[in-house]
Structure 1
């Protein structure tokens, strides 16, 4: 019986991939790959793990390949314990042009010997690997929940994503919760490129206490969708709708939080300096910025922002590094270009001026 043409094509493609030698693998690294595979075989057999299902979830077009990040996520979701180096070696060994052939990986994963033949040394080695991986996981679980949520909200607001529609596909009984595996799959299907620590931070925050390994996706989606305004107006007409948070404002908040302490202090000093001059002279900056902002985006280029401050003589005597810190505080990316969110800048200047008037005279 003739084999389907697609199978023949796949075999040819697999055979023409780079060999481990051409990828720079030496004897030691090849031994490490073998050890990693043996460790996975042991864990799969002992705990009845199913990495294939998780890998196929990422392969929506059935090409037999996933990205390196998806490969690492699938192993983690399948509860396979490896060190970061082992994961990276497997990505390189089974990878080509940034994609990992999980079909080759699964073919090699077929147990070469019965578990009964495993030596005590092998068992001890697996336990050591588990210990190292758990230590790394504890150290790596440092993702900031607030930053992760802002990252998601920014993507949702910019691309008008409705995450809840993807989540409901995994919740046939409409219980308002999904498994951890389904939660990650849904977010991945939305095109949200989250790291493993970010996934874990979300899963910890929205965990369902009475049902282990489940996430309350309704609560999560409600908080994410807050960027579109109040979501329960049809149930509570008297509820006040919160003003939509522009995507650039979300990005500014995230960038400000990531600034180094010293740079942030310098930026705040320059901001206060500018606000005092504006208050004393009664300077109006809005029209000057709008001259450069023809499409009313609320942002201008860094050179345009600096030009306005210079023309109005608001930064005379201020070091360039300090002006750069101020622009970094309000930086946003627009069309692949780094701009300055002048509208947010003006709002903060106005707020400082109001505080100056409310403050008692010294």
Structure 2
């Protein structure tokens, strides 16, 4: 019986995903040998099958060769496209966002160590339910993906998720996979900001979130539904927007659970790391930072903008700050005094070192006489909103642009 070509291609794709790193390393090597038309010598495809260990019989191999060999050349690019298709715009956006997280410098490649460091192992189902360790989860991921590639290029990264995505029929499920792997979502919302916001409130107010959530789990299954998770945060008096709450639930969701419930114990373990590390008695030599590594608590938060906006926005904001610094130096003015006046008015929020976006814009234009457009104001607010509360850290901002900031810091 002769199988249709698409059955054979599906069989090869599924085997490549099971083979993992060895298969994707072979694909990466073959891609470098392709000519401009995307073809390779026919014998190289035979070598590819042998190297990867894909198990197809002579009849199935003949079907593939019959469809993709022309003039002694194997059309490898067309073969890949037929085997796993291509990502639609929604999925491609997620993959691009994920790669930007590991390639902060925009070089088009990243080291395997950086990939492991960025990979969201803590939110994998087996780790959240304590069936495997963090190290084992990372090792398992590398075994089925990029373990034999170093550095990992954008093409390698895209190839893996294109192949994996061809087995996931719904875009919503693919988005959940990318959230679990790299903490990215289609609308660009950063779940790390939401998590740091919760950690900041938990640390400063000394809240034990677990006590407000475990009541919804009488059987101690580690899982609660979305409504119970949101109610737990609300009962703990943690202020978070609906979008942030949804992102946290997606991050700690268990895809294998029929009800897609949230593993609240893993969330609480991560949040409570701002106090100390779990099971520290097993690793007493591990050092615990005196101040938790939360951006809103960073010691330099009043000396510079500590929020990282990505390479494109960072370049724009640094150019804007340089222009403002030159203008302040030319006018011989210091903007900190203007902001301190705005922060102490009767209607001010009285937040230490912070003003609202409206006060920030009004002070720059009316008091300091600096010409800044609304889009530039929004960019500066995003850069200096170190508490993720919509308030601007004017001390850090003035330290960046005041010509006398170094002298002021010395006196302080």
Per the normalisation by structure 2, the TM-score is 0.35
